[in-house]
Amino acid sequence: KAGVTQTPRYLIKTRGQQVTLSCSPISGHRSVSWYQQTPGQGLQFLFEYFSETQRNKGNFPGRFSGRQFSNSRSEMNVSTLELGDSALYLCASRHAGGRDEPYFGPGTRLTVT
């Protein structure tokens, strides 16, 4: 079974631009979550989508948004990029929530200059 895939793996953007990251979950998994990892703040939850609906949201500004498609693939968008948005963005998928564990993708490393 293929794992969670994320594209692109690396990205360099300029302050003020916007960016879209993509995540394809493990086949059959309906829940997708996004996390931001930085040296200063560690791993922080951004949001979770289940069946195309946002089920939970972390404490991030409105510049961070996401969506999930009918095939469970998910995208997250960051508008008006700031230097502090430089991070590793990790996507995780799980079957439905509950007792199962999230499996993480390799991440997208975003650098904002």
Partner 1 sequence: AQKVTQAQTEISVVEKEDVTLDCVYETRDTTYYLFWYKQPPSGELVFLIRRNSFDEQNEISGRYSWNFQKSTSSFNFTITASQVVDSAVYFCALSETLNTGTASKLTFGTGTRLQVTL
Question: Which residue, 78 or 107, has its beta carbon nearer to partner 1?
Answer: 107
Residue type, 44: Q
67 binds partner 1 (CB under 8 A): no
Give yes or no for residue 49 binding partner 1 (CB under 8 A). Answer: no
Q: Does 55 bind partner 1 (CB under 8 A)?
A: yes
Backbone angles phi, psi at 71, to 5 degrees: -90, 15
Spatial neighbors of 97 by CB under 8 A, at least 6 apart, are: 31, 50, 55
Binding site for partner 1 (CB under 8 A): 33, 35, 42-43, 45, 48, 55-56, 58, 88, 90, 92, 96-107, 109
